[in-house]
Structure 1
């Protein structure tokens, strides 16, 4: 059965996720800046600090992103981590266990963040549309 419900007056719209190319551009620029900052402050001999900072960046960017942006965001952050946070700078390498762990951390950050944000948007959308009891409806006309 379909039941029509009214939308609450003055309800705020549910925010739309940010376009994927914009999220990826922010991930690229942000990762480059953060890796440069970590290298300047901590040095290249501590990639775990860079991983933590890039995981935080990826998670924050994913709060306003679509699920389709998650893999690309994680990979872009990993590229900057791998290419510039470990010596030799500017060279991409693959050390199976280490890079697999780094990618897993970045993927976990973006998927967790995107999932939580999607649930929050779904809850906001659900709360926007509420059923208002009609005082003249069949249940309210009973005199007893």
Structure 2
């Protein structure tokens, strides 16, 4: 008789999110590079492509971050958007509804990325646990 024994020690843990200061550093560096690249390719004073690119950056950073990192990520991306993607470059301004909308878009993007990551990790962990519970443990030959 052959007795099959599982080699795994149980379900693997869900990956830990990246530390918030590292996410914010990546947001600062990534936003700087994106805005500089877009200013060189598309030209300055074109905030729509910059907002789209920074929103995508916020989603990507949210995939590896905690929920508490979302406000800082959005704020850092907005600072580079407001300071360098609209005229006058290097000057922070507040244009009421426009900047509130931009902050809202960036914050929502960071939250969507984080929520998506949590759902995917939870789904994968659930599948690993249910596969271990329902699988055969021994077979007779």
Task: State the TM-score, normalizing by the size of structure 2.
Answer: 0.83
Runs of 4+ in structure 1 off by over 4 angstroms are 10-13, 132-136
Paired residue secondary structure (1:129): helix
For residues 111 and 8 of structure 1, the distance between their equivalents in structure 2, rounded to whole angstroms, comes to: 37
2:114 maps to which residue?
Answer: 114
**Deviation at residue 31 of structure 1 after TM alignment:** 0.2
Ranges in structure 2 where 5+ consecutive residues have no aligned partner: 1-5
Q: Output the CA distance in 2 between the equivalents of 1:80 and 1:132.
A: 51
- In 2, Cα distance between the equivalents of 1:126 and 1:99? 40
RMSD across aligned C-alpha pairs, in angstroms?
A: 2.2
In structure 1, the gaps of 5 or more residues are 1-6, 137-144
Are positions 1:9 and 2:14 aligned together?
A: no
Counterpart in 1 of 2:3?
Answer: none
Q: Which residue of 2 aligns with 1:78?
A: 78
8 Å Cα contact 2:54-2:77 kept in structure 1: yes
Q: Does structure 1 conserve the Cα–Cα contact (< 8 Å) formed by 2:12 and 2:125?
A: no
Residue 67 of structure 1 deviates from its aligned partner by 0.5
Equivalences for 1:28-67 in 2 at 5 Å? 28-67=28-67
Is the 1:8–1:128 Cα contact (8 Å) retained in structure 2? Answer: no
- Kept in 2, the 8 Å contact 1:18–1:66? The answer is yes
Q: State the TM-score, normalizing by the size of structure 1.
A: 0.81
Structure (1 or 2) with the larger CA radius of gyration: 1
Q: Note the alpha carbon deviations across 1:2-43, whole angstroms, 9 max, x for none.
A: xxxxx9727654322111111000000000011000111111
